[in-house]
Amino acid sequence: MGLRKIFKSLIILNKEIETSRGMLYPRESETREVRTLDGIWNFVRSDETNPTQGVRDGWFKDDLSKSMPTIPMPVPASYNDITTEQALRDHVGTVWYDRKFFVPRSWGQDQRVWLRFGSVHYEAFVWVNGRMAVKHEMGHLPFETEVTHLLKYGAENRITVMCDNALIQTTVPQGKISEVANDGGVAIIQSYTFDFFNYAGIHRSVHLYTTPKTFIEEVEIKTNLSPNNSVGTVDYSITVNGTAANEAENTLFARLQIYNREGVQVANVTSDSKLVGSLQVENVKPWWPYLMHSSPGYLYELEIQLYAAKEQLLDVYRLNVGIRTLSWTNTSFLINGKPIYFRGFGRHEDADVRGKGLDNALMARDFNLLKWIGANAYRTSHYPYSEESMQFADQHGIMIIDECPSVDTENFNQALLDRHKSSLEQLVHRDRNHPSVVMWSIANEPRTGQVNADTYFQFVANYTRSLDSTRPITAAIAVPSNDDKAGRHLDIISFNRYNAWYSNTGRLDMVTERVISEATGWNKKYGKPVIMSEYGADTLEGLHLQPAYVWSEEFQTEVLSRHFKAFDALRRKKWFIGEFVWNFADFKTAQSYTRVGGNKKGVFTRARQPKAAAHLLRQRYFALGREVDQCNIPSDLFTYIVDVGGSNFKHDSTDL
């Protein structure tokens, strides 16, 4: 490589990128209908050595089954674990889905129809009735397009999706594809350094929905509280799409009303044609995190009515609003004026059979476990989670550190930067109205010691700040603080470290002081609040070894406990603001000799049952809740041991 080429590849510029539009969660109202296309679709896996065959041969022009034999495939779900075939589980490249659906005659009259995907991993190409409808790159994030002109009304229609799971050095996340000789010839191998299985497919719901011709395309809200938390402010900004907006400028206006949980109207306002303004809620009930208040997750309903001249009602959209305020300094992070101490998890969207496919039963179980264990937060490691789970978090008062899909980011280049920024743009656009989102995480374990990391993360962080200045920015960093070049661009420093696991394996006596010293090192270097965003140990459920030995339940319990000691020492220093265990539950990874059926650092098993450490963690999280936030603690937190006449041996919740 000539010098010029090297130099050229090192230059990265902060270019403008395309921004997303619309994407309000599909909701029914008196002016909108929503239909799901979830169910069983037809499915074909392309030949790995000929991934574009289907496009060249026009598989989208007719039923897939006319081109290739199809199998049934559930949507939403990852396709990898549905069959018993290794070839599908480890498939690299494109797969195809199609299905038929009926569109009622009434939808063809005086309205518009939209097709929306909650997420397809990694890249999607969509045809409706054989005509290209939309393309989208980036897993875990929604995309939509208007299909009014592509549909047949009062008739059957066909939708075809081609999905490509290939990850390369310019995708987010990055991967590498190589050809390796195998027994029969050559195999296409997808490799990646990140530690979770690259599940693929139509992962979340597919919706068709209608809107009026002129409709509410976007709503952005920002909330605030008066200094004594008695008055809430909801600033809104509405974007309209449609001809009425262009033709009749100055005649559109909106009426906004806020209803409390009892359905009583507590605020209303009529906008002017700019569709920007604010509402005030007296005697407001702020949105509080779980265990920080007796009534956490308080949500109001914001109803938006869009009118044309002469009071003609065009469109109605409703969304839940939590009224809260965030602020941060170099030593603290506050919600509604009160310091936050995070007690949470890194998680994954992962389950047996369905992989990363949306599963409402699993989601409800996970939130019940989060509440059972007394957690108040989690990080959406290492990609955006479903919109449905964000709504759940709003309702339950669980705080979210919302992470984009950039993992193990390295080899910083222009195409990667553009896509990385796009992933954050799409994420902020999707999640900006959720009260549960309290921080943006711009990367997990980026190689921030490398050349260009400084410039690269300056661009990424500042871009994220330009999209939303109301939430702090973090990244979960694993390089030693001395080598790191990104932390100065963040508001809060998060670090991942596996003492007694990856370093000094088995040495429980080498945890506490090391955690204290590393956290202190980060704080000294940057003078910002610090979170330990990952720590833990792989644990095989049911393996008991005394004295504690790696992989046993005893060992996980001890590793957690040694960290607790460090966290308590750090908490006294004020700038240490949170602890996140890795991981909430066991999850699947690529095959490796360090993984037995996947990563087993879960405090819960993959089937969502507690390991021994879960009981210890529960006692700590509630004890912290009691100390920091004066929460009530559950009566079954401690198991009865013995009654020795009220002496010091008594060991129950009143001890706290």
Site for ligand GCB in 354-373 (CB under 6 A): none
- Considering the complex, what minimum distance in angstroms separates the CB of residue 380 from ligand GCB? 12
Pairing state between β 399-403 and 437-444: parallel
As a whole number of angstroms, the distance between CA 169 and CA 412 comes to 9
Residue 253's CB is within 10 A of a number of other CB atoms, namely: 18
Is 599 among the residues that bind ligand GCB (CB under 6 A)? Answer: yes
Q: Which of 582, 584, 621, 622 binds ligand GCB (CB under 6 A)?
A: 582
Residue 65's CB is within 10 A of a number of other CB atoms, namely: 12
> Phi first, then psi: what are they for 178, rounded to 5°?
-140, 165
- Considering the complex, what minimum distance in angstroms separates the CB of residue 565 from ligand GCB? 21
Q: Which of 379, 601, 606, 620 binds ligand GCB (CB under 6 A)?
A: 601
User: Count H helices, E strands: the chain?
Assistant: 12, 32
| Strand arrangement of the beta sheet that strand 34-36 belongs to | 34-36, 206-212, 111-117, 143-146
| SS3 label, residue 187 | strand
The smaller minimum CB distance to ligand GCB, of residues 99 and 588, is found at: 588
- Considering the complex, what minimum distance in angstroms separates the CB of residue 433 from ligand GCB? 28
Size of the site for ligand GCB (CB under 6 A): 10
Question: Buried (b) or exposed (e) across 615-647, using 16+ Cβ within 10 A?
Answer: ebbbbbbbbbbbebbebebeeebbeeeeeeeee
> Phi first, then psi: what are they for 587, rounded to 5°?
-150, 160
The smaller minimum CB distance to ligand GCB, of residues 20 and 599, is found at: 599
Contacts of 321 (CB under 8 A, 6+ apart): 221, 223, 234, 258, 299, 300, 301, 302, 433, 435
- Considering the complex, what minimum distance in angstroms separates the CB of residue 171 from ligand GCB? 17
The smaller minimum CB distance to ligand GCB, of residues 134 and 614, is found at: 614
Q: Which of 31, 94, 119, 444 binds ligand GCB (CB under 6 A)?
A: 444
The smaller minimum CB distance to ligand GCB, of residues 41 and 580, is found at: 580
- Considering the complex, what minimum distance in angstroms separates the CB of residue 364 from ligand GCB? 25
Residue 466: both structure tokens together:
């330009």
Is 42 among the residues that bind ligand GCB (CB under 6 A)? Answer: no
The smaller minimum CB distance to ligand GCB, of residues 160 and 494, is found at: 494
Q: Which residue is nearest to ligand GCB (CB)?
A: 195
Q: Which of 445, 468, 491, 579 binds ligand GCB (CB under 6 A)?
A: 445
The smaller minimum CB distance to ligand GCB, of residues 136 and 562, is found at: 562
Which residue matches tokens 């603001």? 577
DSSP 100-144: EEEE-GGGGSSEEEEEEES-EESEEEEEETTEEEEEEE-TTS-EE
Which residue matches tokens 């009304």? 153
The CA-based dihedral angle spanning residues 463, 467, 470, 473, taken in that order and rounded to the nearest 10 degrees: -30
Q: Among candidates 512, 518, 529, which has minimal Cα distance to 480?
A: 518
Contacts of 311 (CB under 8 A, 6+ apart): none
- Considering the complex, what minimum distance in angstroms separates the CB of residue 541 from ligand GCB? 16
Q: Which residues pair with 326 in a beta bridge?
A: 335
What Rg value do the Cα atoms of the chain yield, rounded?
26
- Considering the complex, what minimum distance in angstroms separates the CB of residue 62 from ligand GCB? 42
The smaller minimum CB distance to ligand GCB, of residues 82 and 172, is found at: 172
The DSSP output letter for 577 is: E
Residue 144 annotated to the active site:
no
Q: Which of 496, 499, 539, 557 binds ligand GCB (CB under 6 A)?
A: 496
The smaller minimum CB distance to ligand GCB, of residues 466 and 592, is found at: 592
Is 484 among the residues that bind ligand GCB (CB under 6 A)? Answer: no
Q: Which residues pair with 585 in a beta bridge?
A: 604
Residue among 48, 217, 403, 445 flagged as catalytic: 445
Determine whether 490 is exposed, middle or buried from the number of CB atoms within 10 Å of its CB (0-12, 13-18, 19+): buried
Residue 461's CB is within 10 A of a number of other CB atoms, namely: 22
The smaller minimum CB distance to ligand GCB, of residues 318 and 595, is found at: 595
The smaller minimum CB distance to ligand GCB, of residues 422 and 589, is found at: 589
Check: CB of residue 235 under 8 Å from CB of residue 275: no
Alpha carbon separation from 551 to 188, 589, 595 (Å, rounded) = 33, 17, 11
Is 495 among the residues that bind ligand GCB (CB under 6 A)? Answer: no
- Considering the complex, what minimum distance in angstroms separates the CB of residue 534 from ligand GCB? 5
| SS3 label, residue 206 | strand
Residue 374: both structure tokens together:
């007394």
For the chain, helix, strand, coil in percent to 5 are 25, 30, 45
The smaller minimum CB distance to ligand GCB, of residues 126 and 443, is found at: 443
Check: CB of residue 54 under 8 Å from CB of residue 164: no
As a whole number of angstroms, the distance between CA 42 and CA 99 comes to 6
- Considering the complex, what minimum distance in angstroms separates the CB of residue 599 from ligand GCB? 5
Is 195 among the residues that bind ligand GCB (CB under 6 A)? Answer: yes
The CA-based dihedral angle spanning residues 367, 368, 373, 377, taken in that order and rounded to the nearest 10 degrees: 20
- Considering the complex, what minimum distance in angstroms separates the CB of residue 397 from ligand GCB? 26
- Considering the complex, what minimum distance in angstroms separates the CB of residue 498 from ligand GCB? 7
Is 349 among the residues that bind ligand GCB (CB under 6 A)? Answer: no
Site for ligand GCB in 381-410 (CB under 6 A): 382
The smaller minimum CB distance to ligand GCB, of residues 382 and 430, is found at: 382
Q: Which of 98, 403, 491, 534 binds ligand GCB (CB under 6 A)?
A: 534
- Considering the complex, what minimum distance in angstroms separates the CB of residue 42 from ligand GCB? 34
Is 478 among the residues that bind ligand GCB (CB under 6 A)? Answer: yes
Residue 569's CB is within 10 A of a number of other CB atoms, namely: 16
| Catalytic sites, residue numbers | 445
* Residues at the interface with ligand GCB (CB under 6 A): 195, 382, 444-445, 478, 496, 534, 582, 599, 601
